[in-house]
Structure 1
């Protein structure tokens, strides 16, 4: 899914849509919290993938920050 999230982030960065990126990050963090609350299921690989998505989203936000400060 990182390839897909990368394309989504690239699109939002090109549109300079920081709000959408922030919402994506918030949604991913909520997913992690929900998965951590699950019992009886091993969600470690899913959580790892979502954490990788957050890294991609934060990189996109950093690119936006760099573009606005230049």
Structure 2
């Protein structure tokens, strides 16, 4: 079993800084309703929690130029 690390801090109301072992991300929005996440790895996710256990999520990845 591997060791995991994940921390999350609320910076401002509706803005969270998330840090894990490999990257960091910033999330805009609350738990209810739409929220948008931008990750240091280039992943961008827009998601929305809907009533009844339903939800919507759309993820895109940025093409990295080496």
Flag whether TM exceeds 0.5 (same fold).
Answer: no
Higher strand fraction (1 or 2): 2
Higher helix fraction (1 or 2): 1
TM-score (norm 2): 0.24
TM-score (norm 1): 0.23
